[in-house]
Structure 1
Amino acid sequence: MLYVIIPVFNRWAFTQACLTSLRQQTTQSFRVIVVDDGSTDGTAGALAREFPEVEMLRGTGELFWTAAVNMGIRQALAHGATHVLTLNNDVVVTPTFLEKMLLWARRQPHAVLGALELDATTRQPIYGGEQFSWLTHRSAFLLQQLPADERQGLHPVTYLPGRGLLIPADVLRTIGLFDERRLPHYLADYDYTSVARRRGFPVYMNYDAHLLTYPEESGQQQTRRQRSMRGYYQHLFSIRGGGNLRNFTYFACKNCPLLLLPLFLLIGYVRRLGGYFLPHKLA
């Protein structure tokens, strides 16, 4: 059985739209666990009224993304889950999303799978995975490389985001859960999928399964939208900071090849320290 894990904190309208899209899936062979980490906007009550089929777990407001996801995964595994799909609440899944994810999961039973992301407003593809270079600290984005007629099926990538990530239970039993102690919010998903790939589990972007996302709603975009010295400090040091130096250092030391690590850290520090005040495309 597939279990969908959705960590939430407030923003009920997004959660409602996400859960409604799951109700409209062409396959209903799955269950949903929502981990509500201390929402104050009535999420818990609305969830119980409108989606009684959803199992809800409660946090205190101090879980953040990684620990909330891990709480849901532990519950799913206790229920006998064969696969877990982590899903952010600010996404909408197209009707065949789970059908296409499970189809490829049967064909690649040991693979970790992500999904092609479309802008929820324009329906244009915005993220289709990347091949990352530890030497240059740059990514080759698949959407810029693949002709339109090849944007289907599975394509190998270096790592995947957690906002629509399918993980076989065998992977979870082999390498454990997400690193909530060292990566409480950002980079835990990239770290986990990087570790899985190095441990021999293929990591693919599934171009047949589509997520609708709201790029401007991400925490990193909101921090950068109104740049300030306070925002700069939060960018570099807060748990929700997209440029958190401590998280980046740990991710680099854990995943970068040792010989390339000094240069990789140097480039990464420069980009994080100097990129906050640059236009997003230049940072």
Structure 2
Amino acid sequence: MLYIIIPVFNRWHYTRECLESLRRQTSQDFRTVVVDDGSTDETAAALARDYPEVEVVTGDGNLFWTAGVNAGIRRALALGADRVMTLNNDVVAAPDFVAQMLLAADQHPNAVLGALEFDANTGETIYGGERLDFRTNTRYDLLEELPANKRTGLHPVTYLPGRGLLIPKAVTDKIGLFDEKRLPHYLADFDYTSVARRAGFPVYCNYDAKLSTYPEESGQTLTRKQRSLKGYFQHLFSIRGGGNMVNFTHFALKNCPKPYLPYFLLNGYARRLVGYFLH
């Protein structure tokens, strides 16, 4: 059984939209676990009142993304999950999203799978996975490489984000859960899927499974809306900072081949130091 793990903190309107999209799935062969990390809005009451089918795990407000996801996965595994999927609450799943993910998972039972993403506001395709060349710290965007008529099926990638990330139990059995100690929020998903790939599990973006997302709601986007010295410091060192230098260092040390590590680190530090002001 597939268990879908959704970590939330407030923003009930997004969570409701996400859960409603799950109710509309053509395949209902899954269960949902919401990890409510101390929400202060109507989340807890609305979940209990309107979504009795949802399993709720409660946090104290200090879990952040990684520990929240891990808490949900532990609960799912205790309930008998043989597959788990992490899903952000600010996404809307296409009606056949689960069906397409399960189809691919049945055909590739040891693969880690992600989804093709669209901007919920414009309908534009915005994410289809990427490959990273650690030698030069160069990212290759699959959407730029694939013509429109090839945007179907599975495509191998270096890592995947946690938005609609399907993980077989064989992966958690071998490499454990997400690294909540060193990567409490950002990069935990890229790290986990990169570690899984290096452990021998294929990592694919499934172009037949589609999600709509709200890019403007990402922490990185919000931090950069009004650039300031405080925002710059948060970008580089805050637990929610998209350019967090410590997180990047941990990711690099765990995933970059040693011969390429010095350049990868220096290049990555430079990009983070100046990137806040360029994007």
Q: What's the TM-score once normalised by structure 2's chain length? A: 0.99
1:207 and 1:62 map into 2 onto residues whose CA distance is 34
1:48 and 1:227 map into 2 onto residues whose CA distance is 40
SS of corresponding position for 2:155: strand
* Structure 2: gaps spanning 5 or more residues: none
Q: Which amino acid aligns with 1:156?
A: P
1:234-249 correspondence to structure 2 within 5 Å: 234-249=234-249
State the match for 2:181 in structure 1: 181
Q: CA deviation at 1:122?
A: 1.8
1:94-243 correspondence to structure 2 within 5 Å: 94-243=94-243
1:67 and 1:245 map into 2 onto residues whose CA distance is 20
Q: Which amino acid aligns with 2:204?
A: Y
Q: Which amino acid aligns with 1:244?
A: N
**CA deviation vs aligned residue, 1:118-142 (integer Å, no higher than 9, x gap):** 1112212100001111122121111
2:96 and 2:114 map into 1 onto residues whose CA distance is 14
State the match for 2:68 in structure 1: 68
Total equivalences in the alignment: 279
Which range moves more in the overlay, 17-26 or 122-131? 122-131
Q: CA deviation at 1:25?
A: 0.1
1:57 and 1:111 map into 2 onto residues whose CA distance is 27
Q: What's the TM-score once normalised by structure 1's chain length? A: 0.98
1:220 and 1:40 map into 2 onto residues whose CA distance is 23
**CA deviation vs aligned residue, 1:15-71 (integer Å, no higher than 9, x gap):** 000000000000111100000001111210111111111011110110000000000
Identical aligned pairs, as a percentage?
69
State the match for 2:262 in structure 1: 262
SS of corresponding position for 1:25: coil
1:82 and 1:263 map into 2 onto residues whose CA distance is 40
Q: CA deviation at 1:241?
A: 0.5
1:29 aligned to 2:34?
no
Q: CA deviation at 1:245?
A: 0.7
SS of corresponding position for 1:277: helix
